[in-house]
Chains A and B, each alone.
Chain A
Amino acid sequence: MQKLVQESPVCIQLDNGLRVVAFHVPEAPAAAVCVHYGVGFRSEPRSGFAHLFEHAMFQSGGRHFDAVYSVGGTANGSTLPDYTEYSQAVPTDAVRTVLELEASRMARLDLDQAQLRNQIAVVREEIRTNVTTRPYGGFPWTVLPCHLYTSWYNGHNGYGDLADIIDTTVEECQAFHAAYYSPGNAVVTVCGGIDPQRAVTAAAQAFDSIPARPVTALELDADTCAGRVSGVHADAVAPRPAFALGWPMPDPSTSPVMYRAMVVLAFYLGGPGLPLRRALDDCGADVSCSAGFFGPWRARHPDTMVVTVTHPASRRGDDLAAVVDKHLRPDLTAFRPEDVAAATARCATDALRPLTDIQSLASALGVSELLWSDPAGVFTLPGRIEATTCDEVAAAGLYLSEAPSALVTTGANR
């Protein structure tokens, strides 16, 4: 594969600790602006709080969506285990306006109880739409961690229960903002048709006056269960039975080669025409596989490798789980080099895709700086994936086959 990117992102750190990343996409008439804060639902005081807080941030200082829309742009937010992302895409001449909007809500949370009460109702409807009334909604990321991990912060449901957030106060939100939404716990990324030096200067002008605040960090442990733990999740609208298997992945910081091989393994296990998918196809079952609940390199250690299978009621889930287990073990199912090569190519292509889209690229650069202090790694990742060998992928399979795991079944009541 040819080297696609010749330039490096420009990175600076302001005196208040804020990191700024800028990358130029020639001729793009728009730019993406992302702010990533190093706090997600693993750091929240109770279930669903970080996600509710993300909603509250859009109310700060008037309505953020209205302001971005009025300059011809779009905005969105998402809350993951270890970070919260605020993203905008705007015509390039509106970058400065968006940076000022972001700086304003980083400096101060301007929120009243009526706005907060309304966002609690919106979150209730979001959970109803995306989880409780949708077949397999939130499955397995909202229900599997509590079986695989023993600590609350690794195991709880990050989407949350309404009962846990319904009484949230503005004061609690202010405390959360003070603890986690400081410049030193954030990365600002600008990516698109704007000169990176100009972008960095604009970011510095917008954010420089925000005083430094202490950074609150969470110490995470891989506190996993022992052996295989099973659980059942009720889903009244799932049209057929399903199960999810989850395993803790190795630490990408200390075991980068094994982690990378596991990312390829996910494509090997879920890839069309490859051994596990063919074996499950023959049973009328669908399989999907993901290294990390939200994709690879998108959470600190521990993250979870997950295989999800939906199957006919005539097939026993335990039997199909045994088929998955068998395909992890090189001594029981050979890892053929041509199959691994197909999975590697698909995985490398997947890593290339963010490079073609300013919003995906801004997100990837920001996350890579926030979690791994390596924004340029986004560009070298496809090449590193291509270097993965068949033996390394087989070793990743063996690693999982010996690791603790959780099996959660659902949809069996229909």
Chain B
Amino acid sequence: MNLPPLMSPPVHTERILPWLVLHTCPAPGHGYVTACLVARTRAAEPEQIAGVDVALQTWTDSERARVLDRLGCVQLGVRNGALTMVYSAGDAAHLPAMIGGCAAAWDDATGDPVRARAEAARHAWLSGATPAAASRRAFYDHLYAPAPPLLHDTVAPGQLATCSAPQVGEARAGIRGRGLVHLLVVGQADHDLVRDTALECLSGWRPAADPEPEPLQTPAMAAVTPVAQHAAQWGGCHIRLGAPAPGREDDDLTAFNVALLIAGGAFPSRLVTLVREDSGLAYRITAATVRHLDAPVAVIEADCSPASAPRVVDEIRRCLASLASRGPTQAEVDTARRYVQGSSAIALSSLASRAQWLGSKIALDVDREHECLWHKRLYSLTVDDVRAAASRWLDPDRFTGIVQGGEQR
């Protein structure tokens, strides 16, 4: 099957070293290039996660990062947990420095480890000081009873502050020593030229251990339990409800994704209309699938006042129940399909989002066969398919959750 052109940017993939796969993708733009290194950290214990965090922070303060700064390149972002992506972006003329810079992220120990530890701990502390962050921690502990550490964005500030130098060194070696590493270059750069540059920059950056990825481990979930409410000092509430969602091999996946989109996955969804536009109960309400290896969770989140929280939870449950029992309309399914198509066109029109889109597919091993199957299902989807998926996965009684903030009721 041919993929719709909007969703299928041409990617040239080549294994250029036993441990390194190069992907290049032309992109709209004017000479700006993004280079992205994708690797699995495999960090699963708090000590390992702390080591990765501090290693990344050390890099920010390192001489190599400053060299990149002076060239006009910039680190765009890093994701931790099951995978790590390091971006550089800048003028195409600086591609060698960017590719070398991505790799050097893991090796450069010139940054001040004391400063890095303190800074990582401060960031963890500040980013955890909101109802949403507290709710995320409580929710995953509730759902997985308790959550494996890798599901948390980071670890406790105290663990970061006391992270030892051997832990940081082990994290660095672990990142570059496990499985395949992928180099993705998006923008107006010739594949052969990028290959030569990558070989020159990365040949000496060898993995220490086996070249094949370790199998992904699916975290086990606890039994679904009723919604719990946690009191805290905030004047607002963060509601987070979730339930296990279909994995990527599940036949229901496409229909479920469309059902969740109709429920709350895009701005004029049923939940936004009910909770925000018709009743003004919340400013933000969203529904999305959060993937943790292959243990995906459908998560619905809303911010509202403590007084409104019970009503918002009721509205969410009513909305899910209606979708699960009566299904969507044909118009909703058609609109959702157009939205999926439009979103990919928008994502592919910008360099960073195109790199993120492709980087995520690489990291999650979404190959062309998967992609074709997904599109085939999307375009042949019926109202009955979506209703059946909603009935299996969006029944409100499957959901558990946290209401974080406000007074104890």
Contact = CB atoms under 8 A, between A and B. Distances in A.
Nearest to B27: A27
A346 B339 CA distance: 36
7 contacts: A2-B31, A31-B349, A70-B335, A91-B6, A128-B305, A271-B69, A358-B349
A6 B303 CA distance: 45
A163 interface: no
Contacts of B29: 25, 355-356
A89 B276 CA distance: 22
A66 interface: yes
Interface of B: 5-6, 26-32, 34, 60-61, 65-66, 69-74, 89-93, 115, 118-119, 122, 125-126, 129-131, 233-236, 266-268, 276-284, 303-305, 335, 338-343, 345-346, 348-353, 405
Band of interface residues on A: 35 or more
Contact of A346 (B32, B74, B305, B345): B74
Contact of B71 (A65, A192, A345): A345
Contacts of B69: 271, 342, 345-346, 349
Contacts of B122: 284, 286
Contacts of B5: 29
Contacts, number: 197
Contacts of B304: 125, 128
A356 B350 contact: yes
B268 A63 contact: yes
Contacts of B61: 272-273
Contacts of B91: 1-2, 4, 352
Interface in A109-165: 117-126, 128-130, 132-135
Given A237-B233, A310-B126, A352-B90, A357 B351 contact: yes
A132 B29 CA distance: 40
Interface string A339-362: 001100110111011011111100
A281 B280 contact: no
A357 B352 contact: yes
Contact of A133 (B131, B276, B346, B348): B131
Contact of A352 (B72, B119, B276, B305): B72
A270 to B, nearest CB: 13
A91 B345 contact: yes
Interface in A181-216: 192-193
Nearest to A237: B234
Contact of A128 (B26, B92, B283): B283
B130 A118 contact: no
Main secondary structure of the interface of B (DSSP, over half): mixed
Interface of A: 1-2, 4-6, 25-31, 63, 65-66, 69-75, 89-92, 94, 117-126, 128-130, 132-135, 192-193, 236-239, 271-273, 281, 284, 286, 310, 341-342, 345-346, 348-350, 352-353, 355-360
A69 B266 contact: yes
A342 B346 contact: no
Contacts of A4: 30-32, 91
A118 B70 contact: no
Contacts of A73: 342, 346
B28 A281 contact: no
A278 to B, nearest CB: 8
A121 B266 CA distance: 21
A192 to B, nearest CB: 6
B72 A349 contact: yes
Which 3 A-B pairs have CB atoms at the shortest separation, nearest pair first?
Answer: A72-B342, A121-B280, A133-B236
A110 to B, nearest CB: 16
A29 B118 CA distance: 44
A29 B60 CA distance: 35
Given A29-B349, A272-B65, 11 more contacts: A1-B91, A4-B91, A29-B345, A132-B236, A135-B129, A192-B349, A236-B235, A237-B233, A281-B118, A281-B119, A349-B74
